[in-house]
Structure 1
Amino acid sequence: MKKHILGFAATAAFAILAAVPAEAHRQWLLPSATVLSGDDVWVTVDAAVSNDLFYFEHFPLRLDDVKAWAPDGSEAKIENAATGRYRSTFDVHLTQKGTWRIASVAEMLTGSYALNGKRERLPRGTTAANLAEKLPAGATDVQTAEASNRNEIFVTVGAPTTTVFEPTGKGIELVPVTHPNDLYAGESATFQFLLDGKPAAGLPVTVIPGGIRYRDQLNQIDLTTNAEGKVAVTWPEPGMYWLNVTTPRGPRGAAGEDAAPARRASYVTTLEVLAP
């Protein structure tokens, strides 16, 4: 496999969109609640990139790609959106009973091309669909790597439903064996992950409880999906948890940077675990 040369701009964009190692910055969506009831229900969501979960201290998550889907699968409106210095925030009016999905999904290309005897980097915002128009005339030896990044949360009004979990076949997706809004401390939950529509076997799964700022230990849980793409998590205590699944990084490049694999995917979700 050819090595792909990644520039600073592409790397910076990918760092914000993709999940990152445990010691680095993490992106997240944090709902005001995940289990609700009533007839006129709203959820407020904070969105940020930070070291500490879930504390605003680094960078706001941009809302350009954030969308919401109602329990019947229809797209819903993002309301009252605002972006500040350290976080973004928005509301969703939950007008239907059942489980809602709120997600930021990004498909992008990273890589480089040759032009006039020099290697140039693909500009930010390059995708498979617009690659031809992003390349200048005379570009040759185009080398690309696909990146699929999904950051999503689930909120349920009344009884849980499953329509919003219908896979799209793109990137890493969660298929619940245990519903993500039915989690309790001391109990085990099982999730299945798909990669491009197929069971994502052998992928590392990282689970970290929120409140890192207020304890000495990270309390990270490291797991691996089985042959069916499934993983079981036992929740040690109530609270909000950050869960990340990602494809492995490529080999180290000659310049000390990670060489991008031909396909890289990342998945992030925030889960609320309730007291039994």
Structure 2
Amino acid sequence: MNKHLTPLAGLLAALAALALPMSAQAHRAWLAPTSTVLSGTEAWVGFDAGMSNGVFVADHAAMNLSGLTITAPDGSTAQAANAMTGRYRSTFDLHLTQAGTWRVANVSSGVLVSYKQGAETRRWRGPRADMAANIPADATDVVATRANSRTETFVTLGEPTAITLTAQGLELVPVTHPNDLVAGEPATFKLVRDGQPAADMEVTIARGGSRYRDHPEEMTVRTDTDGAFTVTWPEAGLYWMNASVRLPAAGDQLAYSAAYNGVVEVLP
């Protein structure tokens, strides 16, 4: 292994996901729950996670879950149980012990750097604070990109509760709660980038079950100046939402690349 390659939790998967615009990617990242709305004082939910040609079809590779972050309704961090990684999918369970909405996300962030040392092209990835110490003084053609990737879903036990943002990368801001979606009814969300409205961004929405129909039934919407977009769900099912952005370097700002993959369930 190149001595300049420094591991960062989940960043290798993000590099692959962010290397191309979303429209050109062959594989899609998803994190699918067995249930999203539950009742009682406690419950268990299972999750599958993968990278595939069609959403929720485990046919390419398991997702690296080293960046898995589970946020309980009270803001504390919870741990997954019974985690396993197979050839085509990763799986884990979550014990819901608090009423409210749980945010389950696989997140990666850091800096991706390519440079030349002599005639050889090298790469490094890691936290931005460590970049200067890991790029040789004689490096040339240095290209650095700040990257962030988030793949997430939401599960609610009892009544839905608010979702707290991290203000890092692309995030979904619920106007309509993601666990209160009904077929035939409009739902509104906002996209933010590092906490600010992500205006004029294309959002792709795809319903699961594409293996059993002739058409992908994808929808494309665009965010307004406030980062908001509205979807009217054609029918019940599990839906995948995606948005991505790439910005060139400007002044002392690094080039920027971010991707968002959200999974929601729409009930009849």
Partners of 2:13 and 2:66 in 1: CA distance: 17
Going from structure 1 to structure 2, the CA distance change for 1:23 and 1:170 (only over 3 Å counts) comes to closer
Match for 1:226 among 206, 224, 227? Answer: 224
Report what 2:167 is aligned to: 169
Counterpart of 1:267 (choices 256, 260, 263) is 260
Q: How much has 1:63 moved relative to structure 2?
A: 1.1
Percent of pairs identical after alignment? 48
Counterparts of residues 14-163 of structure 1 (less than 5 Å): 14-16=15-17, 20-21=22-23, 24-116=26-118, 118=119, 120-123=121-124, 125-136=125-136, 138-162=138-162
Q: Does the 8 Å contact 1:174/1:191 carry over to 2?
A: yes
CA positional deviation for 1:217: 0.7
In 2, are the aligned partners of 1:30 and 1:270 still within 8 Å (CA)? yes
Q: Displacement of 1:100 after TM fit?
A: 0.3
Match of 2:239 among 217, 238, 241: 241
Change (3 A) 1:264 1:61: same
Amino acid at match of 1:266: A
Task: Tell me the CA shift for residue 157 of structure 1.
Answer: 0.2
The amino acid across from 1:72 in the alignment is: D
3-state SS, counterpart of residue 130 of structure 1: helix
Gap regions ≥5 residues in structure 1: 1-9, 251-260
Partner Cα distance (2:121, 2:47) in 1: 38
Report the AA paired with residue 149 of structure 1: S
Contact 1:203 1:248 in 2 (8 A): no
Amino acid at match of 1:91: D
Q: TM-score, normalised by structure 2?
A: 0.87
CA RMSD in angstroms comes to 2.1
Deviation, 1:13, is: 5.2
Equivalent pairs counted in the alignment come to 252
Sort the Cα spacing of 1:98 and 1:132 in 2 relative to 1 into closer, same or farther, 3 A: same
> Is this contact kept in 2: 1:223–1:231, CA < 8 A?
yes
The structure whose residues are more often strand, as a share, is 2
Structure 2: gaps (5+ residues): 1-10, 249-253
Deviation digits for residues 214-243 of structure 1 (CA, Å, limit 9, x no counterpart): 111111100100000000000000000000
Deviation (angstroms), 1:92: 1.1
Task: Give distance in 1, aligned partners of 2:75 and 2:56.
Answer: 29
Q: Which of 191, 201, 225 lines up with 1:193 in the alignment?
A: 191
**2-side partners of 1:17 and 1:61: how far apart?**
15
| Structure 1 position 20, deviation (Å) | 3.2
**How far off is 1:14 after superposition?**
1.6
**TM-score normalised by length of structure 1:** 0.85
Query: Residues 224, 119 of structure 1: CA spacing in aligned structure 2 closer, same or farther, 3 A cutoff?
Result: farther
Partner residue of 2:180 out of 162, 179, 182: 182
Aligned amino acid, residue 209 of structure 2: G
Contact 1:48 1:61 in 2 (8 A): yes
* Contact 1:16/1:49, CA 8 A, preserved across alignment: no
Which amino acid in 2 is paired with 1:273? V
CA distance in 2, matches of 1:41, 1:240: 20
Q: Secondary structure at the match of 2:23?
A: coil
